[in-house]
Amino acid sequence: MSDAHQDTNTSKHIVFLDQATFPDAVTVRPPAFPHSLETFARTTADQAVERAKDADIIILNKVPMRAETLAQLPKLKMIAVAATGTDNIDLNVCKERGIIVSNIRGYAIATVPEHTMGLMLSLSRSIRPYHDSVAKGRWGEAAQFCYFDYPIFDLKGKVLGIIGDGVLGKSVAKLGEAFGMEVRFSTYKGVDGMGPLYTPFERILSESDVITMHCPLTDSTRNLLGPAEFDQMKKRPLVLNTARGGLVDERALVDALKADKIAGAAFDVVTTEPIPDDHPFLEVMDHPNFILTPHVAWASIETIQGLADQMVDNIDAYVAGSPRNVV
């Protein structure tokens, strides 16, 4: 039935529903209290109840925990989220039931900003199209030592518009400043009076050379960038999203790229993952100024090991009576 391992002489039963979201190189240390552990590589929404029905504690990353699922898990006392995002969990039901939900915080402070800057540099230096052209023989056919088929521009002096002022947005800001960029944090869309450290959202759209998303996905941020926003991007910026799928209207982004309203785009996330066969991004996979990576901005080995350690710390703290990182 499963790739389960279980120790029956325990007081707390833990079920890890999607362990395959951790690479093999990462070690998950045992919790510090008596327990049994059952692990599954992957779990669908339909399988969750059967697999978690006896769990005191569930570990999950992306497995959905909606109201109808939670209603069938009467023993459940804690959900340890192996990530920061909790949009796959019905937090209201958990609060009503007294189920503690603890997530991971501050773990991606290096890996996501580094991935973001890697995407930014790849676009600004036209790394992908130059590499592809060399692979197709273009350099060998050139009349001189180099050729100028694709544009290259420096990041120094460019305006970096950051939407999202949390730890990741601030870390990207530091890297941008190290490259000599003029960093601006956006106000929340439709919110005024946030102070002199913020630039109005509309000016971020119209004045930025690069716009990068680092905010959570909520009802107010869903499709934050859509057709109307792309129309306001007067400087044809690069648009990056390493935060959450759904922050950007993906159909609108593809249309903007095809219409030359933006200079390029690089994404690590999409609204539905894995990406479906009819996703609009698949229309532009051969576009020289488009890059798509499969939700791996968070996935350096060092970072995932730190995440796993923090996850177990959260579980230990809950059992010790001092829950931490409670959502």
Q: Which of 50, 177, 202, 273 is catalytic?
A: 273
Q: 3-state DSSP call for residue 241?
A: strand
Distance CA(130)–CA(238), nearest Å, equals 18
Residue 283 designated active-site? no
Q: Confirm whether 273 is a catalytic residue.
A: yes
User: What does the alpha-carbon distance between residue 169 and residue 219 come to, in Å, rounded to a whole number?
Assistant: 20
- Which residues neighbour 117 within 8 Å (Cβ) at sequence distance 6 or greater? 172, 175, 176, 179
Amino acid identity, position 326? V
Beta-strand runs (E) in the chain: 12-16, 35-39, 57-60, 78-81, 100-102, 159-163, 182-186, 198-199, 210-213, 238-241, 264-267, 290-292
Peptide bond into 74 cis (omega under 30): no
C-alpha pair distances (Å), 276 with each of 41, 239, 272, 281, 282: 21, 22, 7, 10, 9
Q: Please state, in angstroms and as integers, the Cα–Cα distance from residue 148 to each residue in 121, 142, 205, 266, following that order.
A: 17, 10, 29, 22
User: Taking the CA atoms of the chain, what radius of gyration do you get in angstroms?
Assistant: 22
Question: Distance between CA atoms of 266 and 281, rounded to whole angstroms?
Answer: 10
Q: Is 279 a catalytic residue?
A: no
List 13, 128, 214, 295, catalytic entry: 295
Catalytic site residue from 35, 184, 214, 244: 244
Q: How many CB atoms lie within 10 A of CB 303?
A: 19
First to last CA, the chain: 32
Question: For residue 190, what are the CA distances in angstroms to 89, 210, 245, 288?
Answer: 27, 21, 21, 34
Residues catalogued as catalytic: 244, 273, 295
